Amino acid sequence: MNRIFRTWFLIGLVGLMVVGQSEVRAASKPTRKKVIAENPYLGAIVVDNATGKVLFEDKADAEGYPASVLKLMDLLTVLEKIEQKQLALQDPVIVSAKASHIGGSRVWLAEKETFSVDDMLYALMVQSANDVAVALAEKLAGSTDAFVELMNKRAQELGMTHTVFHSVHGLPPGAGQEHDVTTARDLALLSRELLKHKDTLRYTSTRERPFRPDDKKHMVVMRNHDHLLGTVEGVDGLKTGYFTEAGYSIALTAERKGQRVIVIVLGSIDRKVRDAKAAELLAKGFLALPAPSSPSPVPAATSGTAK
């Protein structure tokens, strides 16, 4: 009997050890982050830039993650500081150690490198450079935290009531950090405000540009991530964004026959679906606009002697 008891005791002990090891492995396995992107999108909206009138919307207040579309707020903040004479396009931006270590899309800034605000804005919009976003934030506000405060303050002023920024670049949050959150409607408000600044389209319509053109060894040929530029009539900006949980998003604008439309597609599960939907909604937006008024005809000159 004692032998039988010992045998079952040992079997039970081994079983507990196996279960315990399985639980340890399960606990140590990283939790898979939730993908919130949907097919064809999480939310979308089309707006007449001239009036702000909504021409189409579908779940426009659904909250998602903007990813790099967030950099439009970086651009607006910088352009407004330039307009207020607190900054100039040719002012130098000195790269910090923090900026040089930011990952994701970048132009591989090195600590103590110096570039003009103008060069940095091209890199921010064309390459979607995260290292540049940090360098510009530090230049303008002294720290990324202070710059994020400026971003959130401006968002509230614009009526972006469902938007909260936690970063200057839109990357996925690290441990202890939170996601940047916005909606298609809020991004349309931001885009419309940006289009009041002439330099916005100068940066966002650029399809390709060298960074460090005089340094052939370290030059980066920046290419815009917006595949609709140059392929869809009238498209000249604004910004794309992506990371896995967020999905693919785009803030898009185009001008045709003197009329301009803004399209936002937030949180699409697939890039090709996002781009196809954006192009489709752009066409729908222009069809919904009133026909542009034509100039009044000039009366024909009459012959003969006036009486």
| Residue 241 belongs to a domain | yes
At 16 the pLDDT is 43
CA angle centred on 208, ends 202 and 213, rounded to 5°: 100
| pLDDT at residue 101 is higher than 80 | yes
pTM score of the predicted model: 0.85
At 298 the pLDDT is 53
Sequence-separated (6 or more) residues with CB below 8 Å from residue 288: 46, 55, 56
| Residue 274 belongs to a domain | yes
At 91 the pLDDT is 98
Sequence-separated (6 or more) residues with CB below 8 Å from residue 292: 257, 258, 259
CATH number, domain containing residue 218: 3.40.710.10
| Residue 253 belongs to a domain | yes
In tens, the pLDDT along 187-224 reads 999 999 999 999 999 999 999 999 999 999 999 999 99
At 195 the pLDDT is 98
Domain that holds residue 279: 34-70+143-288
At 292 the pLDDT is 74
Q: What single letter denotes the amino acid at residue 222?
A: M
In tens, the pLDDT along 230-286 reads 999 999 999 999 999 999 999 999 999 999 999 999 999 999 999 999 999 999 999
Q: For the chain, how many structural domains are there in total?
A: 1
Which residues does the annotation mark as catalytic? 68, 71, 128
Confidence of residue 175 (pLDDT cuts 50, 70, 90): confident
| Residue 44 belongs to a domain | yes
Pull the structure tokens for residue 119. Answer: 């060069």
